[in-house]
Structure 1
C-alpha cells in the first residue's frame, strides 16, 4: 500500500548534515546554520574540518542578515555515523567521483534515520546514477540539491532521481527559502540541470564564433553587457517580445544552413504555440508567457493581486542615474522579473486595468526640467513616452481618473500639479505654487508637491506638500477637479487646506466607498515614518472636530513612500526607501514585511 510522504518528524530541532567540508560544502553548511539549524559537517581531513568551522564562524552572521534567524550550532566530525545521527537532511558534497557517490548513498541508507532526506550537491551526475545500491524505499527520499557559489549566488536547483516522492519538492522549496536561497525545481531529470544547460548553449556558440573568426572575446562580452546585463533582457520574455513566429523563422534558417534538427526548436514552437495563435506579446493568446489579459485576476472575486513596484535605484550595488527599475512581484513579495530597467529615478506608478497598461513617472535630476512620464503594457513591452523631458521638473506620485481617463501627477521641485490624457495630450497645470510664500516669506521647499489622489465623487483632487525634510510643516490640500471659471492654476481660490502641521506627508490614496483618506509620512518619529488615515465627510473634508483629525495606524517604516489600497482583499500595500514592501489590514493591523532587500529603495507601488 502506498503511503503519502510525510516530512521528517521534528525536523526543526534536528540537525542538517553536510558530507564534505571543501569550498562548497562549508558554504552549504553556513547557509543552513544561518537559518537557525544545527549543522554537522563530516570530512576525513583534519585541515578541511578546521578550515570549515573557521569559515562558518567568520561568515554565519553575514549570511544570517537575509534569514533574520539566530545562527544554529555547527560542528565538524570525522565519523560519518556521528555526523548523520538524528539528521533530517543530509547533503553530500564529496568529490565528483561516481563510485564514491554510489558508495556514499549505500552507506547513508544504513546509518541515517529512515525518514531523513538524502541529497547530492553534484552538478556532474544525476542522482539516478548514484542509487544502484539502495532500496526502492530509499530512492523515494533521494534528490539532487545543487548549489552554485554562496553567498554571491544563492540559487539552489532541485531535481528528482526518477523515484523521488513528489511531496519532497514543495517541502524542500519552503526550507530552502527559510535559508534565504532561491530554489528552482527541474520538472524532469536533465544532465546539467537548468542553468548549466543554459550556460552550455551560450558557451558552445561563443566558442564556435571564436573558432570561425566571427568575433573576438572583447566584442562578445561588450555586446552581452549592452544587450542583456544593462538592458536586463530575459530569454523567454525577449522571445515573446520579438514574436514566436519570428523566432521560428530565424531558427528555420539555422536549421537549413547548419543541417540541424528542427524537432526541439521550430517544430516545438509550431506544435505548442504557433498553431494555437500564441505568438507572444503581440497576441491576445500570449506566447511563452500568458497574455496580460489572462494574467489579470477576475474583478468579481477576491484574488491575490500581483505587485508592480518601483526601485528608485539609489541603493543599487553600482549606482548610476539610471539604476531605477520597474519590477513585477508575486502577491507574496517575490520578485518575478524586471519589466523595465535603466530608469532615471522612477517614483510613481499606476495601472489602467481597462487597457492593461501601466504609467510611471521618472524624476530625472532633481531641479532640472528633465522629468518624464512613460507607459507600457503590463509585461513591460510597447514603452511609450507620455510626457517627454522638458515639460516637467520632478514628477512624483501619479494617479488615474478611470472614468475620465485622465492622469494626475505632482511635480515636486516644480511646485505644480498636472493633468493630461493617457496619451499625454491636453497637458495642463492645475496647481502652480511656485510664487506662493508662507507666513515667514518662505517658498520653494514648502510648496513641493508630492502625493496625489483624485476623488470624482467629491469633484476634488488631493495632494501633499511635504515641506522640509522631517520639518513638521507638511500639508494636504484639496481643490476642485474643474478649475473655477476665470481663474488659473496660480490664482484659483478653491484650494482648501485639509491637514497642516504633518511631519512629512508623501503618497495619498482614497477609499471612496468609506470616505477614508490614507497617506504615508516619511517624517520624524513618533508620528512620521507611518501610515495614516482620516475620515472625510460627504463634502470631502475631515469629519472629525478634534484638533488632530487623523489617526496614525502603522508606524516604524523606514522612509515611507508608496501606498496602494487593495479593498477587495482588505489590505494596504506600502513601500519604503529602506528596501521593504509591507502588507497590512485596512486598520493598520497584521502588518507583515513581504519583501526586504538592502540593495533596493522602493518608491511607487501598484496592483493588478
Structure 2
C-alpha cells in the first residue's frame, strides 16, 4: 500500500531543535540558522549552551557562504535547558548527544513524548544505527526516524542519511532538499549499516592507527607524514582523530573516538587493547585534542604559533547569472583560512564589498580598501573586528578615488594607501583623521591625460622605520615593462608639497608590472609582486635595501624568488615561519621561500580572484 506520509505542516515557519550544543551540535545549528530557520539548542549544561550561542554568533558568516542562494528570511536561534520546551512545535529535531546507547534510547523516548507527532526525528550518531536507538518507541514513531550523520561543517559539508529500517521512504528526498538549501551535500545509504559509508572505512584505519601507536611502532607525526605523502592528502589520521595540530574539519575529539570504538567492540567482538591504551593515556588525563587545552595525540599548540591568513576575493570569478553589473561589482569578500591546516577551506568574514584590494591588521582590527568603480571617485577605506563585526568607514566615498594596497605603520599607528586613478599616495590615522596626500603624480580632476597614463598610477606601498621612508610602486602599462618603485621620507621636506617634493628616489625601474610591496626591516629586504609577462613577470621578487646587496642581484638589480604566479598581487612576509604568503588573481594562495625554491600552494578557489592579504598569529 502506498505511503501516506506528507511533509510536516507549515514547516517553513516552525523551529528546528538541536539536542546537544557540543562541537558538532552547534555547527549543525549554524547551518540551519544560516538557511533562515529558527533554531533551538537544547543542552543541560549552561556552559555548553553559552558556548553554542557564542559560536553561532561569531561564525555565522562562514555558514552563510555555503548557501546556494540567500534565504528569503533571516534565521534566529536561542538556547534551552528544558527538553520539552525546546522541542515544542518543532518540525525537525537533530539528536547530537554523546555516543552512549542508553542515553540515546532515553532521548528518543522523550522525543516521542514531547515532540509534535509529525516531527522528523534524526540522530547524528556516527556509530549507532538509528534502529538501535528505538527500543522504547512505537512503530509509528520509528517511521519518522532516520540517521543524518554530519561530518564537520562549514569545512566538511557531506551529510550521510540512512534509514532506521522503518523510515518512510518519502522522507529522504524531502530531507535531502532541506540539506541542500543549507549548503550541505546529502548522500543517502542504500540500506541500514553500522557506521554508514565513510565511517566503516575510516573505522578500520583509525583502529589500526591506534594499534600502531599503542604498540610503540611509530608516533603520530610519522604516521600522519606517511599518510600525507603516500595519498597526497592534506590531513593525516591522527589529526582527524582530534589532534591539537591544525584545526581540522574532521577533528571530533578522542572522547568521541572512544565512544565510537567501544560500540564497534561491543557489536563485532573486536580486540580492546588499543581502546584500553587510549583511555589510560589520554581520556583519563583529559587529553582530548582540540576540545581541551591539554592536547591529544599531539601536544597542544603554543599561543601565537598558528597563523590565520586574511585575504581578499574580488568576487569577479563567479558566473553572473541573474546579477546586474552593479551587484557583481559589489560581491567582494574578506576570507580567512588557517595556514597550518591544509584541509581547511576559507570562510567569509565580510561580504558584499566593492572590489576590495588592500588589507592590513592592527590592534585586533582589520583595515581594507574598496576600489569601487575605477571610473568614479567612490573608493572607501573601512575597518572591522577580526571576526568581521563592527564595520566602520575610515575614509568615505568621495575622499579617495581608487584605493589599492594599504599598509599600517604599527609604531606610529598610521594607515598608508595608494590611490591609483586618483594619482596619489595617502596617509591617515587609524580613525581616518589627519587624512593627507604624501605624493601626487597628477590631478585626475584637471589633468585627465595624466590620469589615463598607467605610468602615473601608484599601486603598492610599504614603510621602513629603519630608513624612515615609505616606498610605493607605479605599475606602468599592462605587460609594458614600465614599472617603477620609488621611496620618500616619512616626513614631508620643508617647503615641499605632494606634487613637487624633492626627496623622491628611484629604487627600481623597467619592471614588468610591479604591484604590492612588503619591507622587512629586520633583514633589510624589500619584497614585491610583479605581474607582466614571463620570464620576468608573474614573479615574486626581493631587493636588499639595508646592507650589501648579494651576488644574486648582480644581473637584474633584484632577485626573482618565485615564478609562475597567476597575476600576483598581495604578499606578506612571515618571519616566524620564514616564508612569504602571496595571493594571485588566478584564485590561489602561495607559501614561498624567501631564499627561492619551489613555491607551495596553500589553497585554490576555482572561481575566485584574489588581491591583498595579511595574517594574524594566535
Q: What TM-score do the two structures reach when normalised by structure 2?
A: 0.52
Q: CA deviation at 1:491?
A: 1.1
The match for 1:310 is 312
Q: Note if 1:423 corresponds to 2:431.
A: yes
Aligned CA distance change for structure 1 residues 146 and 381 (closer, same or farther; 3 Å): closer
CA distance in structure 2 between the partners assigned to 1:346 and 1:158 by the alignment? 40
Which deviations, in whole Å up to 9, do the C-alpha atoms of 1:70-111 show, x marking residues without a partner? xxxxxxxxxxxxxxxxxxxxxxxxxxxxxxxxxxxxxxxxxx
Alpha-carbon shift at residue 598 of structure 1 (Å): 1.4
CA RMSD of aligned residues (A): 4.5
Q: Could you say which residue in structure 1 is the equivalent of 2:458?
A: 449
Q: How big is the shift at 1:451?
A: 0.4
- The match for 1:473 is 482
Q: Where does residue 413 of structure 1 map in the other structure?
A: 421
Q: Is 1:464 matched with 2:473?
A: yes
1:381 to 384, 389, 392: 389
Q: Residues 276-323 of structure 1: CA distance to partner in whole angstroms, max 9, x if unpaired?
A: xxxxxxxxxxxxxxxxxxx99746xxx231110111111124461111
Aligned pairs for 1:357-368 (under 5 A) are 357-368=365-376
Residue aligning to 1:509:
518
2:129 is aligned to 129
Shift of 1:146: 4.7
Q: Is the 8 A contact 1:536 1:542 kept in 2?
A: no
Aligned ranges 1:49-448 → 2 under 5 Å: 127-129=127-129, 146-147=159-160, 184=250, 298=303, 303-318=305-320, 320-332=328-340, 334-352=344-362, 355-434=363-442, 444-448=453-457
Q: What CA distance in whole angstroms lies between the structure 2 residues aligned with 1:420 and 1:489? A: 15
1:488 aligned onto 2:490 = no
Distance 1:431 1:127, change over 3 A: same
Q: Is the 8 A contact 1:399 1:454 kept in 2?
A: yes
Structure 2 match to 1:559: 567
Shift in Å, 1:443:
6.2
Give 1:379 deviation, angstroms. Answer: 0.8
- Alignment gaps of 5+ in structure 2: 1-121, 133-148, 152-157, 162-175, 188-196, 211-219, 236-247, 257-299
2:579 to 571, 574, 577: 571
Q: Which ranges of 4 or more aligned residues in structure 1 deviate by more than 4 Å?
A: 122-127, 142-179, 182-189, 295-299, 440-443, 540-547
Aligned residue in 1 for 2:556: 548
**SS in structure 1 opposite 2:396?**
strand
Could you tell me how far 1:442 is from its partner in structure 2?
Answer: 9.4
Q: 2:602 aligns with which of 587, 594, 600?
A: 594
SS at structure 2 position matched to 1:389? coil
- How many Å separate the matches in 2 of 1:469 and 1:341? 29
Rounded Cα–Cα distance in structure 1 between residues aligned with 2:576 and 2:553: 30
Assess if the C-alpha contact under 8 Å between 2:424 and 2:458 holds in 1. yes
CA separation in 1, counterparts of 2:615 and 2:519?
15
CA contact (8 A) 1:507 1:562 kept: yes
CA distance in 2, matches of 1:313, 1:336: 14
Task: Report SS of the residue matched to 2:411.
Answer: coil
Equivalent-residue separation in structure 2 for 1:398 and 1:555 (angstroms): 24
For 2:543, which of 512, 524, 534 is the aligned residue?
A: 534
Q: Which has the higher contact order (CA 8 A, sep 6+)?
A: 2
1:143 Cα shift?
A: 12
Structure-2 separation of matches of 1:131 and 1:177: 34
Mapped contact 2:440–2:499 kept (Cα < 8 A): yes
Pair 162,428 (structure 1): closer, same or farther in 2 beyond 3 Å: closer
Asked whether the 8 Å contact 1:159–1:186 carries over to 2, the reply is no
List per-residue Cα deviations over 1:504-562 (Å, max 9, x = no partner). 00000011111111100011111000000111136x99999956211111100001101
The answer (yes or no) to whether the contact 1:158–1:186 under 8 Å persists in 2 is no
Deviation of the 1:589 alpha carbon: 2.3
CA distance in 1, matches of 2:546, 2:401: 34
- TM-score, normalised via structure 1 length: 0.53
For the 8 Å contact 1:123–1:146, the answer to whether it is kept is no
Summarize the Cα distance change of 1:380–1:167 in structure 2 as closer, same or farther, 3 Å threshold: farther
Maintained 8 Å contact 2:569/2:583: yes
CA contact (8 A) 1:306 1:329 kept: yes
Deviation sequence 1:33-89 (CA, Å, 0-9, x none): xxxxxxxxxxxxxxxxxxxxxxxxxxxxxxxxxxxxxxxxxxxxxxxxxxxxxxxxx
* Aligned equivalent of 2:293: none
**Equivalent pair of 1:327/1:335 in contact (CA under 8 Å):** no
How far is the alpha carbon of 1:378 from its aligned partner?
0.7
SS at match of 1:452: strand
- 1:128 is paired with a residue whose SS is coil
